Amino acid sequence: MTRIVDFFAAEPVRVSAVLRLPLIALIAVLVWIWEVDHWLPGLYAAVLGGYAVAAVIWLLAVLRGPLPRWADWASTGVDVLLIVVLCVVSGGATAALLPVFFLLPISVAFQDRPLLTAIIGTVTAGAYLAVWIVYSKRDDRIGLPDMVYTHFGFLLWLAVATTALCLVLSLRAARVRALLEVRRQLVAEAMAADERHNREVAENLHDGPLQTLLAARMEVDLLRDSRPDPALDTVYDALQDTAAMLRSTVTELHPQVLAQLGLAPAIRELLRQFESRGDYAVTADLQDVGKPASQALLHRAARELLTNIHKHARATNVGVTLRHSGDRIVLTVSDDGAGFDPAVIETRLQEGHIGLGSLLARFEAMGGAIRIDSAPGRGTVVTVTSAPE
């Protein structure tokens, strides 16, 4: 269900590409049911068959990746042209195909482009009238019924209505985009403030308590050399462990590898630390993505996901990939552990467990996304996609 919602939430050109195929099938069924006489049956079949093949090819192209901005109106323009051609060459089939003209303006009404919607709607109304004129000229028995002008008026009204609908939708979409941009800026400023605070805390810990602790450890070490005592050994070990934990805290607050070398080396260092915690078989495919603007958030996501695997997954095999995908960066973390129901994330967030839920909210606010594919007993695959760089 989530994938279906994501698909229909994508560009309108994708939706129209899917809906075009059943429309072509309906055209074929209408003509077959009405048993009309074709003026040019061979040409009609060739045009309809070519239209179907082109629609399938276009759908595959749309599903493979992003398309230029002109693709939406160009595909609808081709629809209008081919429907006109089918009507002209079909003769008696014209009456069966005319309702299709009422569907074409609607196909562009959700593209947030009022001017384009108005142009397509007006052209469709004109094409409808032109088809009837050609039909009446070729068959004197039919003439030009008064109902044609009524239908022409309805098509013009439909053009105005769909244009108004598109205008309302575009204005609402603009307001939503503005609110999302404000939200993105607020989250970015909050994250920047968080990073500055973490860096200051890390520097203070490194330059203050950690140095004092290391100095105390050195003094204890000197005492151990001059006066061996089991109690001093215990104190020395405690200082050693505390210094190691403090270094780990400093690194977590402000990872130097991330700041100096970039995202891929920093994730590689996370994986090295992760492997030292247990018996894991780790497979890593990390593309060098440099130092993207979203590297701090992606690094945090990798650390949180690996921590969750260590704490909860009971996994033995872990895979991590990092790569460019267009103008975005995609991080994928998978494991063969116990898995879980992604629906529990919201419940755990309400209970105060904000780790993964916080990441979901931040990526969404920044224009990125996190997709969780998991179920109890079959492992987990988490795909993290950054905002456009």
pTM: 0.59
- Tokens matching residue 154: 């309805």
The average pLDDT across 236-245 equals 86
Band (348; pLDDT cuts 50, 70, 90): low
Q: What is the pLDDT of residues 75-103, one digit of tens each?
A: 878 888 888 888 777 765 455 667 777 77
Q: What is the pLDDT of residues 119-129, one digit of tens each?
A: 888 988 888 88
More confident: 186 or 38:
186
Please give the C-alpha separations between residue 207 and each of 195, 202, 220, 252, in angstroms, as whole numbers: 18, 8, 20, 16
Short-list 343, 351, 332, CA closest to 375:
343
Q: Which long-range contacts (CB under 8 A, 24 or more apart) does 28-33 make?
A: 30/93, 30/96, 30/97, 31/90, 31/93, 31/96, 31/97, 33/96
Band (359; pLDDT cuts 50, 70, 90): confident
Calculate the average pLDDT of the chain: 81
pLDDT score of 141:
67
Among the residue ranges 30-34, 111-115, 182-186, 289-293, the one predicted with the least confidence is 30-34
Instruction: Find out whether 202 and 254 touch, Cβ atoms under 8 Å.
Output: yes
Say if residue 236's pLDDT is above 60.
yes
Q: What residues have CB less than 8 Å from 61, skipping those under 6 apart?
A: 67
pLDDT score of 10:
46
Q: What is the pLDDT of residues 251-277, one digit of tens each?
A: 777 777 787 888 999 999 899 889 888
Say if residue 4's pLDDT is above 50.
no
Band (31; pLDDT cuts 50, 70, 90): low
Strand order in the sheet with 380-385: 281-286, 317-325, 328-335, 380-385, 369-374
Say if residue 318's pLDDT is above 90.
yes
Instruction: Find out whether 270 and 303 touch, Cβ atoms under 8 Å.
Output: yes
Please give the C-alpha separations between residue 163 and each of 45, 103, 114, in angstroms, as whole numbers: 34, 14, 5
